Amino acid sequence: MTSLQWGGRFDAPPNTALLQFGSSLEDDLVLAPFDVRCSGAHVLSLREGGVISREAADALLSALERVSKEIESGAFGRFARDSNAEDVHGAIDARVRELAPESGELLHAGRSRNDQVATTLLLYCAARAERAKTLTLQIAAYLTQRAQTELGAGTMLAATTHWQPAQPVLLAFWLAAAAEPFVRDARRFARTAVDAMEKCPLGSGAVAGSSLPLDRGASATALAFAAPSRNAMDAIGNRDVACDLAYACVRTLNDASRISEELVLWCTPAFGYARLDDAASTGSSLMPQKRNPDPLELVRATSADLVGRFAGALGSMSGIALSYHRDLQVTKGAIISIVETALRALDAFALALSHVHFMRDRMSDQADRQFTVATDVADALIAQGATAREAHAAVGAQILAHEQDGALLEWPDARASIQGKRTAGSTNAEQVAISLEQLQSAIAELAQ
């Protein structure tokens, strides 16, 4: 039995090397569970439309249930590779025809791989978006919990801009700032999951719909879509949700990369602000003293890699007309690669975070070094009637005199600087506590 779903108008079989070049099987095996669901819904569409008998539908559904179990056990993957299928969709069709020879020939009636792929990819995107949302919320919740702990400890930190000492903040303030992007990321994933299940392409056929009386409402309902898609040509070539999911993954990993960059530097002796457990560190094959924060470095590099892959995914679509073109197979592979890689990297990032220990004394001790309270001195002068330019110049002159001849600086300390902040959203402990409460509420709301 051939796994190809076409060939009647050809006199000769396809060139094996070119067929292998065109195969996407290794890219889209991950779609197998979703394709089985899609195929089951199509059987219902055929049955409810009167295209196939109930007996044939039962045989097909039974075969698909068997395939589903084989996917879970790993047996299907071996079958798919041995069958030399072009893609996972053809491999499932071939396996169903093996399990139910007579009814299996009816499975693809009224269906094209175009609407099949589009539907299966949406189901995959919805599931992965939900998984990514859960993961990002877990990261945000963990950072928020660590912030609560450090708020209680009162740990301070010299915040930087341009990697230069800027102003004293609470470490809890930094941790809350680290958590905020992941809440936004989770919201982005939540929107993507909803969008994925809005319109069901199944039943759109190759480009124009079907002449068979398919019950598209039945298949859309079976798959939990809100409704069938409105336009067959748009439905089979639409990859907006897939690109939105890839973008959400790239953005989330970019957020993880920025935090990783800071933690990598904090783990250096020059900073000495943090330390990774042995479980999250690696050594050198040559230098016995080394403790390398490799997981964080790999997260950083993976983020950059996925930015490039995302550009490739968009580029693969930019030159094609409406409807389906084989270019979209490359898009599909790129999207899946981005999503699966991002989820693995985020898992590693979350695990690495749990192995970070902050050197509280070192951080707090450095909080008011290198003139970090200079802005507070300038603000005090402004409060006494000086203009902003006058205050800036006066404080700058004090710093210059200190650097040149050691002139005494009678300035507030870091703790006073932090306590003196008055604006909403500032590093003042009361404001940080409020922000953490709001973060917890946002996380809980998105988790519902």
Residue type, 239: R
In a domain, 340, yes or no: yes
pLDDT (average), residues 377-395: 97
Which domain-ending residue is among 365, 382, 409?
365
- Residue 355 known to be catalytic: no
Residue 311 and residue 193 share a domain: yes
CATH of the domain at 129: 1.20.200.10
pLDDT band at 361 (very low <50, low <70, confident <90, very high): very high
Strands 199-200 and 274-276, how do they pair?
unpaired
- Residue 284 known to be catalytic: yes
Residue 315 and residue 263 share a domain: yes
d(CA 354, CA 350): 7
Nearest to 259 by CA among 177, 338, 185: 177
pTM to 2 decimals?
0.94
pLDDT band at 207 (very low <50, low <70, confident <90, very high): very high
pLDDT (average), residues 239-245: 98
In a domain, 356, yes or no: yes
Return the minimum-mean-pLDDT range out of 9-18, 333-342, 378-387, 422-431. 9-18
Say whether pLDDT at 335 is over 60.
yes
Boundaries of domain holding 318: 114-155+170-207+231-365
pLDDT (average), residues 132-137: 98
Residue 189 and residue 310 share a domain: yes
Say whether pLDDT at 279 is over 70.
yes
Residue 86 and residue 119 share a domain: no
Residue 141 and residue 64 share a domain: no
Q: What is the DSSP string of 133-158?
A: HHHHHHHHHHHHHHHHHHHHHT-EEE
In a domain, 344, yes or no: yes
Say whether pLDDT at 262 is over 70.
yes
- Residues whose CB falls within 8 Å of the CB of residue 421, separated by 6 or more in sequence, listed in order: 427, 428, 431
Which domain-ending residue is among 339, 365, 391?
365
pLDDT of residue 150: 98
- Asked if residue 253 lies in contact with residue 299, where contact means CB atoms within 8 angstroms, the answer is yes
d(CA 56, CA 113): 21
Residue type, 442: A
pLDDT (average), residues 84-89: 87
Based on DSSP, count helices (H) and strands (E) in the chain, helices before strands: 19, 6
Q: What are phi and psi of 384, to 5 degrees?
A: -90, 0
d(CA 348, CA 299): 8
Residue 122 and residue 237 share a domain: yes
Residue 185 and residue 45 share a domain: no
pLDDT of residue 17: 76
pLDDT tens string 2-60? 556 655 676 777 777 776 777 778 889 999 999 999 999 999 999 999 999 999 999 99
Q: Tokens 């006199």: give the residue.
A: 11
Residue 129 and residue 247 share a domain: yes
Residue 281 and residue 357 share a domain: yes
Which domain-ending residue is among 365, 386, 419?
365
The mean predicted confidence, pLDDT, of the chain is 95
Partner residues linked to 167 by β-bridges: 159
Q: Which two tokens stand for residue 382?
A: 């402004």
Q: Tokens 């210059």: give the residue.
A: 400
In a domain, 430, yes or no: no
**Catalytic annotation, pick one of 53, 73, 284, 441:** 284
In a domain, 445, yes or no: no
In a domain, 443, yes or no: no
CATH of the domain at 65: 1.10.275.10
Residue 132 and residue 269 share a domain: yes
Return the minimum-mean-pLDDT range out of 180-189, 245-254, 281-290, 300-309. 281-290
pLDDT of residue 8: 61
pLDDT (average), residues 266-294: 95
Give the total number of structural domains in the chain: 2
**Catalytic annotation, pick one of 23, 89, 103, 162:** 162
Say whether pLDDT at 1 is over 50.
no
